[in-house]
């Protein structure tokens, strides 16, 4: 299974390499994650509600443009940007619009259509940063 993932913020090449190496180490045999940087037009942090909203739109667009060889889609972010917008709609033309699996990290809430909007993500972002800073 090949999973196409995209970062929620623009990251330098070294950080992209670090994240890719982590996925490579975590994936079981037969599963690979291909991580792509969102691009230089994206925010470099998710400190404001607007940055979260901008990121969500860019991640959604990037996931919609996933390569045809992708078997599944996944944002590289615990806030699951794009998951609610793409739940049940992901898929490529080569797959005859059959939905690709769409993985989210927040208990797959987006994949089931449960709440997971940008507003929810923006509200959760400070709490998530605080947990990361204290761990």
Per-residue model confidence as pLDDT tens for the chain (135 residues): 999 999 999 999 999 999 999 999 999 999 999 999 999 999 999 999 999 999 999 999 999 899 989 988 888 877 666 766 776 654 443 444 434 566 665 543 333 333 333 333 333 434 333 333 333
Q: What pLDDT shows up at residue 77?
A: 78
Closest alpha carbon to 65 in 86, 45, 80: 86
Q: What pLDDT shows up at residue 120?
A: 35
Q: What pLDDT shows up at residue 30?
A: 93
Q: What pLDDT shows up at residue 74?
A: 87
Question: Which domains, and CATH codes, for the chain?
Answer: 2-130 (3.40.50.1860)
Rounded distance between C-alpha atoms, residue 30 and residue 51, angstroms: 35
Closest alpha carbon to 36 in 68, 80, 73, 1: 73
Q: What pLDDT shows up at residue 72?
A: 87
* Matching residue, tokens 């449960």: 114
């Amino acid at each position: 299974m090949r999973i196409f993932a995209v970062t929620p913020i623009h990251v330098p090449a070294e950080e992209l390499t670090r994240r890719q190496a982590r996925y490579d180490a975590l994936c079981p045999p037969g599963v690979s994650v291909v991580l792509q940087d969102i691009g230089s037009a994206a925010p470099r942090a998710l400190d404001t509600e607007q940055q979260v909203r901008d990121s969500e739109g860019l991640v959604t667009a990037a996931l919609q443009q996933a390569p045809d060889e992708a078997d599944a889609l996944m944002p590289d972010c615990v806030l699951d940007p794009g998951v609610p917008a793409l739940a049940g709609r992901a898929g490529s033309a080569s797959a005859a619009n059959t939905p690709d699996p769409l993985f989210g990290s927040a208990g797959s809430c987006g994949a089931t259509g449960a709440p997971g909007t940008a507003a929810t993500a923006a509200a959760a972002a400070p709490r998530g940063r605080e947990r990361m800073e204290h761990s």
